[in-house]
Structure 1
């Protein structure tokens, strides 16, 4: 099986490369090797490699910067995925594309299902939704994987920020009225690879949109509690800082955050036998997130 991974140096991309190397014929590229917003370059790369599956882990994920970098956000989150999807269609490949909880308004009671109405509240979510639509139109064999609250050993994320702050501060104020399922990048990679295997082994695949995220659902403040408990237990920090739960209004940001990012993972479990991410287990080696 030949797999092309874009965004290979990102949080999920690094995990994909680590899990796929030596197991498939792999072409893993990042933006310094392929600008996915360059349609001609994408077509040339795909036509030359002729992958069976393209996994697009490239994205403009700076949520607040996106409010100013509108053109760049749409170029990376909509146009790039569209180019990859068209190229996939041209060689008969499937495309697996990562999306986000930000496509929803974030005010629903309970978990969001794949069939729920989308209503993004900012440029990041709008550009990612545009990417979903573009991918679905351009390639018949597409899987759109929406996820949320991604963290991992690579790149910038909430776990790393908490560990950095916790090492120098005795008290921290963390938002407690936004809820979601933290999701380990390595488990997202594992889910994508499981889907890729299913595609390679079957002519009958239920293509479309799927949700993949972690359980149990928590607030950011509750997530921080678990991070610091793990860090103290594993001697990464000597003392847990005192945490104060604050409201979204008390921590204003340029882009609006969803108050509810809970994603239902029932469909992906039923279709591909992929279990929800056990994010607490992903913190068992918390030293890997330091530095």
Structure 2
């Protein structure tokens, strides 16, 4: 089915991959925050209206995938008002606009909405308990979207990395070339996710939503398969770089204090994604290898 997709947050690492990976027949409009500020009601209403009109003119179905977010986790601790504007108020206005124009909405959320004290992968129905300003604002954004009356889905993910922007993989690659050893926390566990793989999954969901065949479950979890600590992930990155992974030394979160509390365990269960008959993302190790292979 031909699609016309609006991607707020189009200049971010996920937004760029959504635009790059769209199949033939999928028209992606991916404005950055300078072109579409989701905190501006007027801009949001105009953008969704233009999307609906454009789709009608070219005989396609409109969908919004919201990749816009305030992701400066530590900065949000002292700038929660701005984080709330982007992560909660923006999605609320976006969802209202989508509801009024009958445009399906897919909203990207985060593992930080959970407290991080679990011992098994989180399911969509598990109780929330964010322990950071970032997590609180993203949880509020989920509520705003799901309570809007729009045909909407919340997709939680985590530990994103891509070829654009800044992320953990790029940071480790930079530090590998400049330090003989480095310490990385080993008591935080999650699921690293390549934005290219996530983008493919979101586009598959968008196609289903546009066809009126969206999953009955409105909250889904989507990450690359498996889990690892930040230290283990860093060692895997070193291995991909041809460097000695033993140069990465484990440390505790207490030894590396940060403004925002990170979840100790934020692995997301893939069950909801599989049960919706959506294509499961490959294991994180395979995705990381493919990420580096694309650079070679």
TM-score of the superposition, structure 1-length normalised?
A: 0.93
Give me the whole-angstrom Cα distance separating, in 2, the residues matched to 1:204 and 1:160.
Answer: 35
Aligned with residue 254 of structure 1, among 259, 263, 268 = 259
Q: 1:274 to 1:161 in 2, by over 3 A?
A: same
Query: Which of 280, 288, 292 does residue 286 from structure 1 map onto?
Result: 292
Deviation (angstroms), 1:3: 1.1
What's the Cα RMSD here?
A: 1.7
Task: Indicate conservation of the 8 Å contact 2:205/2:278, yes or no.
Answer: no
Match of 2:144 among 122, 129, 134: 134
**Partner SS for 2:7:** strand
Misfit runs of 4+, over 4 Å: 287-290
Paired position in structure 2 for 1:189? 199
Matches within 5 A, 1:91-106: 91-106=101-116
Q: Is the 8 A contact 2:236 2:245 kept in 1?
A: no
The Cα offsets for residues 203-243 of structure 1, whole Å up to 9 and x where unpaired, read as 564151111112221100010111111110xxxx6x55612
For the residues of structure 2 that align with 1:102 and 1:25, how far apart are their CA atoms?
31
2:58 counterpart residue number: none
Counting matched residue pairs gives 285
Unaligned runs of 5+ in 2: 56-61
Equivalent of residue 108 in structure 1, options 115, 118, 135: 118
How far did 1:197 drift? 1.5
Distance 1:196 1:14 in 2: 16
Unaligned runs of 5+ in 1: none
How big is the shift at 1:69? 1.0
The match for 2:190 among 180, 198, 206 is 180
Does the aligned pair in 2 maintain the 1:99–1:146 contact within 8 Å?
Answer: yes
Q: Deviations over 1:93-118 (max 9, x none)?
A: 11000000000000011111000000
Contact 1:5-1:54 at 8 Å conserved across structures:
yes
Q: Which residue of 1 aligns with 2:238?
A: 228
Q: Equivalents in 2 of 1:164, 1:277: separation in Å?
A: 26
Q: Which residue is equivalent to 1:65?
A: 75
Q: Is the 8 A contact 2:201 2:278 kept in 1?
A: no
